[in-house]
Amino acid sequence: MFKLDLPRLERAGTLEISAEIPADDPLWEGSDLGLRGPLQVQGTASLAGSGEVLVKANIRGELEQECRRCLKAVLSPVDLDVLLVFGATDAEWGDDGEIRPLDPEATELNVGEAVREELILNTAPYVLCDENCRGLCPRCGVDRNAESCECTLEEPDPRWDALRGLKTE
C-alpha cells in the first residue's frame, strides 16, 4: 500500500514521494499487469490553494506480457509521468482533467490505487514480440518464427462452412 500522510502534507506544503510497490503487493491483484520486480514511484505531493492535493510522479518498472501471437514473454519498460489531482469531486479542474475524490475528513490518501489505475490505462493490453511475429501454427502449434511445419496455412473459405452447415442440418 502506498499512502500519503495528509496532516504531514498540510504542515509541510510539499512532500517528496519515494515509494516502491512490490510486484506481489495486493494492489496488483486481478490486474494482469505482470509486473517484474517492484514499481518505483518518485515525485512530489503538494497542496493547491483550493485544497486539492497534487501528486506529480514518475512511475518506473518493468512488465512481462505475452506476445499475443506466439505467447513468448515480452518485457516492456514502464516510464510514465503522471499528474494526479485529488480534491472535492464537485471542484472543477480544467476541461478534461480528472479529479479523484478526497474525503475532507481523511488523514491519509491512498495514492497506490490511483497509480494502479494510471498504469492500467497506459499499458497496452496486447503486445507483440515483434511487428513481424509469425505466431504459432494454429494446427500443430509450432512457433513459426523458429521452425516451419507441413500444415497448409490457407484459411478454409468461410463459404464452405456455410455449405457444410447446411448439409448436416
Q: Which residues bind Zn ion (CB under 5 A)?
A: 67, 69-70, 129, 133, 137, 139-140, 149, 151
Q: Which is nearer to Zn ion, 50 or 148 (CB)?
A: 148
Q: How far is the CB of 23 from Zn ion (least distance, A)?
A: 23
Q: How far is the CB of 32 from Zn ion (least distance, A)?
A: 18
Q: How far is the CB of 44 from Zn ion (least distance, A)?
A: 39
Residue carrying C-alpha cell 506476445: 67
Question: CB of 45 within 8 A of CB of 58?
Answer: no
Q: Which is nearer to Zn ion, 19 or 129 (CB)?
A: 129
Terminal C-alpha separation, the chain: 58
Phi (first) and psi of residue 58, to 5 degrees: -110, 135
Q: How far is the CB of 64 from Zn ion (least distance, A)?
A: 14
Helix (H) or strand (E) holding 160: helix 158-168
Q: Which is nearer to Zn ion, 101 or 141 (CB)?
A: 141
| Cα–Cα distance list, 127 to 71, 77, 103, 130 (Å) | 10, 12, 38, 9
Q: Which is nearer to Zn ion, 56 or 134 (CB)?
A: 134
